C-alpha cells in the first residue's frame, strides 16, 4: 500500500473545479487516483474526455481509478493525446447539483515517466 501511495505523488487543487494529480506511468490496474471527486452523485464524462475512458474509470461513488489498460507515456505521445515532453491529460466532467446549477469539473493528470524511460536519457 505504501508503494501505491508513493506512485501517486500528490494532488493539487488549482481551484474549486480543477484538480491536478501527478502519477507515474504503468500504475497497477484499478489504482485509486481520487476518492469522491464530487459531492454530488451526478458526475458524467464530457464527450471531449471520452478518449480517456479506456484508461480511467469513474465508479458509482464518484471516485477515479485506473483501468486494466496500462498507462504509458509513449502511447499517449504517439496518439497525440499529450505533449511528448510534458504529458498532461485533461479529463472534463459535467457536475450537476440541481436543474439550474451545473458546472464543469476538471481533473488534470500529469504522467511522469519512469527514471529508466527514454525521456530521461540524453546522449552527447
CATH assignment at residue 23: 2.60.40.60
**The predicted structure's pLDDT at residue 121:** 38
On whether residue 35 sits in a domain, the answer given is yes
DSSP for residue 51: G
Sole residue written with cell 484508461: 55
**The predicted structure's pLDDT at residue 36:** 80
**The predicted structure's pLDDT at residue 46:** 94
On whether residue 82 sits in a domain, the answer given is yes
On whether residue 122 sits in a domain, the answer given is no
**The predicted structure's pLDDT at residue 65:** 93
Residue-range definition of the domain harbouring residue 18: 12-111
On whether residue 54 sits in a domain, the answer given is yes
On whether residue 107 sits in a domain, the answer given is yes
On whether residue 94 sits in a domain, the answer given is yes
**The predicted structure's pLDDT at residue 92:** 96
Closest CA to 17 of 107, 91, 101: 107
On whether residue 116 sits in a domain, the answer given is no
How far, in Å, CA of 12 to CA of 18, rounded?
9
**The predicted structure's pLDDT at residue 27:** 87
Predicted confidence pLDDT, tens digits, the chain (124 residues): 444 444 444 444 445 688 899 999 888 889 999 888 777 668 899 999 999 999 999 988 888 999 998 888 889 989 999 888 889 999 999 988 888 888 899 999 999 887 554 444 333 3
pTM value is: 0.76
On whether residue 55 sits in a domain, the answer given is yes
How far, in Å, CA of 83 to CA of 80, rounded?
7
**The predicted structure's pLDDT at residue 15:** 52
Sole residue written with cell 504522467: 111
For the chain, what is the domain count? 1
Amino acid at each position: 500500500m505504501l508503494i501505491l501511495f508513493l506512485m501517486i505523488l500528490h494532488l493539487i487543487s488549482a481551484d474549486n473545479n480543477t484538480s491536478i494529480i501527478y502519477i507515474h506511468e504503468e500504475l497497477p490496474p484499478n489504482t485509486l487516483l481520487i476518492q469522491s471527486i464530487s459531492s454530488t452523485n451526478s458526475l458524467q464524462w464530457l464527450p471531449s474526455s471520452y478518449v480517456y475512458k479506456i484508461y480511467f474509470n469513474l465508479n458509482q461513488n464518484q471516485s477515479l481509478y485506473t483501468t486494466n489498460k496500462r498507462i504509458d507515456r509513449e502511447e499517449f505521445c504517439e496518439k497525440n493525446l499529450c505533449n511528448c515532453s510534458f504529458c498532461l491529460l485533461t479529463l472534463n466532467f459535467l457536475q450537476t447539483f440541481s436543474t439550474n446549477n451545473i458546472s464543469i469539473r476538471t481533473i488534470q493528470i500529469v504522467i511522469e515517466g519512469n527514471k529508466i524511460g527514454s525521456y530521461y536519457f540524453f546522449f552527447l
